A and B are shown apart, each in its own frame.
Chain A
């Protein structure tokens, strides 16, 4: 339910500000996405460099990095997720309060990265939790992380509050907690969460 842009500008010249509740709500949400301080490996250093004075993520609204998952809106999975760490990552995601978003930063978080052939490397965190933005790179530059944050902000800005395509946190029946994998004798059990990561079937 958007307002006509031309009408907005005309009214704005008269000193009247017109908007819709959805735009206002989404603007507030996307302008203050607080990440969780969760660095796993090398990409974490680029994440820290993004918070420093040169690339300053604070001007995009990601002001404070909260160590506690209860107080964070977004989790930046920066670095390789190993099978030993994967249950902890899923638990932390479950403990975050809705609305919550995930940015998979770096090749390792997307698909295992350069360490893909490994007995301890989880080939992508999107096997267990839904990921909103993927950033390729090894490590991606701080500017790439900023662009990912802007992409996420655009995504949040376009979310509808009502209707079929409303986001998960406004849907009472949607699943917000994901099952935590167990560490078995040889591998994680289950190896992936089929609800989140369905293996596609190619029919040519």
Chain B
């Protein structure tokens, strides 16, 4: 950590094949075992397969195989209108449907040049940060479950998640597939009662995070299994296009909320946690700290939310035909950079609709992180990447 990662990557880039995974030699005794971990396996991340070549318990080669949930979302979007694709974006990263909605609405607003009223921007921030909190808590719960804490941290995380899902349900009508953002604002306004309920839940969240951390932060099993494991060098992370908490745990200060200044994030004071040791424990700590920062943003947003319309009055909902052109809109989703690339040819449906999936690209370095480790650690490293198969396969 003496030279900043940019200098290191500039020097390394002169070497041939520096960003390829290292070659691990077997011990020389015994046969190699080829194993397919998945697509049906107890780790609750979905239908994902890893073809590993093992020397005893050590991983020599690892190739991820996916496509088991490829639901041709992009092809469907080419045949339907822009608005009709909004419910499909819910089902991409099905944990965080509201941030998916926001990313798509942002891309279409950039494509058609629409403005969003202030109250809608505040509501978007509130819902996005609530989504981030429940996503990070669930991720840590699943990670701990794979470590052997059979369900208990997951139960605590899901207890808070249920409270947040109740908020989503009373505002948007659905617990998970919210379909709430529209091009130019939000679908319905939040009542004063809803905001009061949200304030109450946000007031109780710090106590939950403290309780969660008390159980986990100094837990000897977590520390023994997560520290020093699954190290990802920052120059490789940048070159492989890693984004989100995984990138920041590798020490790279790149949070799209601070870089792109989208929405009204400039009005809120929040810090970006970075990791020093680039391992699984750092990814866990970055997520816990991001939950705390999100609580801070929520308190500020719930205090300052103005009154007003939640939908751009000039927005055309039926017969929406943006002018020909293209746009790329991205946000800091809980899993990384979620981007939508749209090409419009003036017709009601997009000519090309592309989702930039953070989970798929974060998997690029799975092999690098797992080589040389045991099979049991592969499950942990994979859990710390935090993927959702709906996004990987679309």
Contact = CB atoms under 8 A, between A and B. Distances in A.
A, B co-complexed: yes
Interface of A: 37-42, 44-46, 48-49, 52-54, 67, 79-80, 82, 84-85, 88, 92, 114-115, 117-121, 138-139, 141
Given A85-B47, A118-B75, A42 B159 contact: no
Interface string B35-79: 000011110101100000000000000000001111111011001
A52 B134 CA distance: 15
A41 B69 contact: yes
Interface of B: 39-42, 44, 46-47, 67-73, 75-76, 79, 87-88, 91, 94-95, 154-155, 158-159, 161-162, 175-177, 389-390
Nearest to B49: A88
Given A45-B176, A114-B88, A52 B155 contact: yes
Contacts of A120: 67, 70-72
Given A53-B159, A80-B69, A42 B176 contact: yes
Given A52-B155, A52-B158, A53-B159, A41 B390 contact: yes
Given A52-B155, A53-B159, A139-B177, A40 B72 contact: no
18 contacts: A40-B47, A41-B46, A42-B91, A52-B155, A67-B42, A80-B69, A80-B71, A82-B70, A84-B67, A85-B39, A88-B39, A88-B40, A115-B73, A117-B76, A119-B75, A120-B67, A120-B72, A138-B177
Contacts of B162: 49, 52, 54
B39 A42 contact: no
Contacts of B88: 114
Given A120-B72, A139-B177, A49 B158 contact: yes
A115 B95 contact: no
Contact of B40 (A38, A82, A139): A38
Nearest to A68: B42
A85 B69 CA distance: 8
Contacts, number: 90
Contact of A117 (B46, B67, B79, B389): B79
Contacts of A42: 91, 94, 176-177, 390
Closest 8 CB pairs of A and B: A42-B94, A67-B42, A52-B158, A115-B71, A118-B72, A85-B68, A120-B70, A54-B162
A53 B69 CA distance: 28
B155 A84 contact: no
Given A44-B44, A49-B162, 4 more contacts: A38-B40, A46-B176, A92-B40, A118-B72
Given A49-B158, A117-B76, A118-B76, A39 B39 contact: no
Contacts of A53: 155, 158-159
A49 B94 CA distance: 13
A40 B47 CA distance: 6
B100 to A, nearest CB: 12
A84 B70 contact: yes
Nearest to A138: B177
Given A38-B40, A49-B162, A114 B46 contact: no
A40 B362 CA distance: 20
Nearest to A79: B69
B79 A84 contact: no
Contacts of B154: 52
B71 A40 contact: no
Given A67-B42, A85-B39, A121 B176 contact: no
B351 to A, nearest CB: 18
B281 to A, nearest CB: 25
Nearest to A112: B71
Contact of B95 (A38, A45, A52, A117): A45
Nearest to B165: A49
B39 A82 contact: no
Contacts of B42: 37, 67
Contacts of B175: 46, 141
A121 B44 contact: no
A118 B71 contact: yes
